[in-house]
Structure 1
Amino acid sequence: MRGAAATVRARLGQPLRLPLRRLRPVLHTGVRWKISVAIALVGALVAVALSLVVHNAARVSMLDNARDVQDERIQFVARQYEATGRGLPVGFKVDDPGIPPDLRKKAMAGRRATFVSEQVGGVPDIWAAVPLGDGRLLSVHTRFTDRSTTVMKDLDQALIIGSISVVFGGCALGVLIGGQVSRRLRKAASAAREVAQGRTDVRVGDAIGGVVRDETDDLAQAVDAMADALKQRLEAERRVTADIAHELRTPVTGLLTAAELLPPGRPSELVKDRAQAMRTLVEDVLEVARLDSAAERAELQDLLLGEFVTRRVGARHADVRVSVVHESEVTTDPRRLERILFNLLANAAKHGKPPVEVSVEGRVVRVRDHGPGFPEELLDEGPSRFRTGAADRAGHGHGLGLTIAAGQARVLGARLTFRNVRPPGAPSMTPSEGAVAVLWLPEHAPTNTGSFPMLRLPE
């Protein structure tokens, strides 16, 4: 069967096969780093905003203090000057032409005023002016004190160091929090993958554990509920399939027996052929149901893989060429291995073109034909029952061959893959030059499937 399923089909004990999507440039980042970056950005914004507020507040406060000092100085000097008429201290001037216009306007209105003049170097001048009794203006201006400038620089340095500390602290906190969330999500994803591979006893909620409950636990409960519902549905489907096939077994056997009693002729041959096809279908459906139940166990024996494949293929398919590149001794179930091999050969003969070739290299068995290749749906999703690669529905075959081969491979702990052969460097749209099914036998006996060795009885 060159099966092509339109939707994903999951079977009990059978991995989910998701269709491959077109490759698109995607930036993959973990939750840990996303949370870290988010906390770091928020911390940086908060630190910058607070730094600006603190800097401006400190600067305004220090300038206000400087203006108050200048105001007190000019009041004191103005009283002494008007009382004694003696000379002015350094920095004080009468009718200074450099007085800022805004300050001059306020002083001429008879008001005492202070003014801050920004300079190019960044250090402001602090002005103060007061009108004298004779109508003249007494003014003074000094630079912002060096001590105040030093304090502002120290404050800015402290704010910068504090902001950097907040950013790095936020990153560390984000890594800690994100790491915990990411760890729980990875455990949940790992458990979900095990469920998808057929391990229905795995619980996502138990896998993530933890004392603190969050949205991850809600996700785990939802996945566990979905897995339970899927398990019940698939088990019911398997039971119905097995029951129907089992009930059909007796009447189909009777039909085949009755067909043998018909007089020779073309009609009798057609009846016998269809009855035999129905019997084969029923037996295959029963085998699929047994494989779906995950109760099948392999009976393991040690054998030489190349010799075994050469002998079995030569006995039934004399036109198939077998080449042994490298001989290897394997521990497997010969009956199930033969079933896989013959199903692959039957599929190649039915849907491919000769010559059909079988090669053995170590623990790897390849079956190749020179036909049009496997359908893309089969390559993406894997074999699916009751789906064939034929364009019409009138073709022979019921689509269970590769499904049974894949199920038997799982019992053996092996891996069965499919690919099309194209010229080297040819684009994917180039027509294939054949199809290759590859069976990868495990290095060790599949004890994890519950299989057991066959004891050799003494001859």
Structure 2
Amino acid sequence: MSNPERGQRFRSRFRGLRGRVTAVFVLGAALVAVVLSGSVYGISTGYMESQRARTVERAVRVHAELLRLRLDSTDISGDQALDALDLPSGTMAILHRDTGWSLASADVDFSPGSAPPIPTPAAQITGTATRVRIGDQPYLRAGAAVDNRTVLYEFAPLLELESTLRMLRTILLACSVLAVTIAAAIGAWAAHRALSPLRQVAATASRIASGEHELRLPRTDDEELSTTVDAFNAMVDSLQQRIERERRLVSDLSHELRTPLTTLTTTATVLTGHRDELSERPRAALGLLVEETAYLRGLLDDMLALARVEAGIHRSDQTPLDVAELLTHLLAGHGVAAHVLDIRDAGTIRGRRTELERALVNLLTNAERHGGGVTGVRVDRDGADVVVTVDDAGPGVAPENRERIFERFVTASRSTGGTGIGLALVSETVLGHHGTLRCTESPSGGARFVLTIPALHEIAKNRPEPPQ
């Protein structure tokens, strides 16, 4: 399968009910994951930053008190007092005393080009930690007054906190992706389970349409599904009753119409035997009677055959049929030359032999009556289908009439003896075998009828599973 076809198939499945159910699960999970992840990250960030700020603020106050005691009790310089502090790793301390500055740091390479930002004047000192940057590194700055002329500033690094927050973001993102993936899998499973009754209905409907009219959906204890099951079975029962009425009608019509028609045909035959005893005008009337009786008999046969096909009344069961063998037999029976048949790729189909023979005979008869005779019959394969092509020598069919000729009572001329039902019967027969019939133009300019029916192994492969 090509990439465009795969893409089209994927889009088609996504637009379907199963895709929409799965999408609801995915979107719901994504929304919940975003809200939870954002909430967890926001709360965690605020909590850890506030805890870090309180730790820095508490530490600078403790250190300021230690410095006050040390500076009051001994006569030491600011640098000596700072060196006595036990600073955490990466923390810097700056002491502002009178007009002088002292710096102490723990494992920090401090250069004058990246001087820490210190607020001035010292009166702006507050007990609240502030986020600042020294060079390209983030710090928390906190200050505390040691005495009236001395202020202590401490700069605590935030690299570890930011690393922890990055790890938290990664974990939350991974958890969100995992949650959405799990939701997609659960959504696909739930959609599959939820749509299982629809697939069962579709399989049952397909089998009923193929001729298993007695098949029904099994009863269910599910209150939501029981209404659908009952309505479906009631609909099929109604259709079955209508089909039975149509079958009885066709049977009654066949009996009631054939009897007087047979009488007319017999009478016309008897009169034809005494044709020479009649004068000219009665002979002309007898000729019209024989012609119209034959036309009426053909019309009745075609109408009854079409009615049987539409009502699902079949005289035989479906069996494997060799299309090449079937056409060889039919062409020989109609006196068509053997070279007309071109078997390029033989194929076997599953069908009703009597109905298909009649359909193919109607195509051959149509070519003889309206198309100047059959010029070619080809049997070929088109992927999973068996294709039968019939060409004639006539003037062809106008493009606007190529669909219309398969309607009832559409014929070229009554003078050719057609009833206008032959091609409609062919179309209904092919449709009943899950095939297609179309009219195009042959290379010689005549009409070309293309009959396509699925091959036997494709029918078996695509047959729906029976309902459980």
State the TM bucket, normalised to the shorter chain.
0.5 to 0.7
Structure-2-length-normalised TM-score: 0.64
The answer for the alignment partner of 2:133 in structure 1 is: 119
Q: Say if 2:60 is the partner of 1:54.
A: no
Q: Deviations over 1:47-66 (max 9, x none)?
A: 23322322221121122112
Counterparts in 2 of 1:74 and 1:393: CA distance versus 1, 3 Å: farther
1:436/1:93 CA distance change after superposition, 3 Å: same
The alignment status of 1:420 with 2:433, answered yes or no, reads no
CA contact (8 A) 2:94 2:152 kept: yes
Amino acid at match of 1:294: I
Provide closer, same or farther for how the CA distance between residues 149 and 211 of structure 1 changes in structure 2, counting only shifts above 3 A.
farther
- Confirm or deny that 1:297 pairs with 2:298: no
CA distance in 2, matches of 1:333, 1:163: 59
Q: What amino acid does structure 2 have at the position aligned with 1:93?
A: L
The aligned amino acid for 1:274 is: E
SS at match of 2:330: helix
Label 1:181 to 1:139 Cα distance change in 2 as closer, same or farther (>3 A): same
Does the C-alpha gap of structure 1 residues 120 and 404 become closer, same or farther in structure 2, counting only changes over 3 Å? Answer: farther
CA distance in 1 between partners of 2:321 and 2:26 (Å): 61
Match of 1:196 among 173, 190, 209: 209
More relative contact order in 1 or in 2 (CA 8 Å, sep 6+)?
1
Residue aligned with 2:420, SS: coil
CA distance in 2, matches of 1:437, 1:235: 33
- The one-letter code of the counterpart of 1:48 is V
Task: Verify the 8 A CA contact 2:33 2:179 in the aligned structure 1.
Answer: yes
The C-alpha deviation readout for 1:188-237, integer Å capped at 9, x for no partner, is 4333333333433344x44xx9987767x766665555444444434434
Q: Secondary structure at the match of 2:315?
A: coil
**Farther off after superposition, 34-43 or 154-163:** 34-43
1:229-261 deviation per Cα after TM superposition (whole angstroms, max 9, x unaligned): 444434434443443453333344445556665
1:422 deviation in Å? 4.8
Q: Which runs of 5 or more structure 1 residues have no equivalent in the other structure?
A: 1-24, 424-430, 445-459
From 1, 8, 13, the counterpart of 1:29: 13
1:313 Cα deviation from its structure 2 partner: 0.7
Give the match for residue 275 of structure 1: 293
Aligned match of 1:157: 170
Shift of 1:383: 4.8
- Number of residues paired by the alignment? 395
Residue matched to 2:274: none
Matched, 1:138 2:140: no
**Aligned equivalent of 1:178:** 191
Note the 1:42-441 alignment, pairs <5 A: 42-79=28-65, 85-86=71-72, 87=78, 89=82, 91-94=93-96, 98-99=117-118, 108=124, 112-119=126-133, 124-130=138-144, 134=148, 138-145=151-158, 147-181=160-194, 184-203=197-216, 205-206=217-218, 223-256=232-265, 264-291=282-309, 292-297=311-316, 305=326, 308-314=329-335, 323-325=340-342, 339-351=358-370, 353-357=371-375, 359=377, 366-371=389-394, 372-373=396-397, 383=406, 386-388=408-410, 397-405=418-426, 417-423=437-443, 433-438=446-451
Identity level (%): 24
User: Is contact 2:411-2:419 (8 Å) kept?
Assistant: no
In the alignment, the residues of structure 2 paired with residue 143 and residue 73 of structure 1 have an alpha-carbon distance, to the nearest angstrom, of 10
* Structure 2 residues not aligned, in runs of 5+: 1-7, 73-77, 86-92, 102-115, 272-277, 381-385, 458-468
User: Cα deviation per residue 1:264-307 (whole Å; 9 max; x = unaligned)?
Assistant: 24344334433332233223333334443434126999996566
Task: After TM superposition, give the deviation of residue 344 of structure 1 in Å.
Answer: 1.9
Q: 1:440 to 1:313 in 2, by over 3 A?
A: farther
Alpha-carbon contact 1:368-1:434 (below 8 Å) kept: yes
Which residue of the partner structure matches residue 449 of structure 1? none
Q: TM-score with structure 1 length normalisation?
A: 0.65
SS at match of 1:166: helix
> Which amino acid is the alignment partner of residue 304 of structure 2?
L
Offset at residue 326 of structure 1 (A): 5.7
Structure with more of its chain in helix, by fraction: 2
Q: Is the 2:295–2:417 contact (alpha carbons within 8 Å) kept by the matching residues of 1?
A: no
Q: Is the 8 A contact 1:290 1:296 kept in 2?
A: no
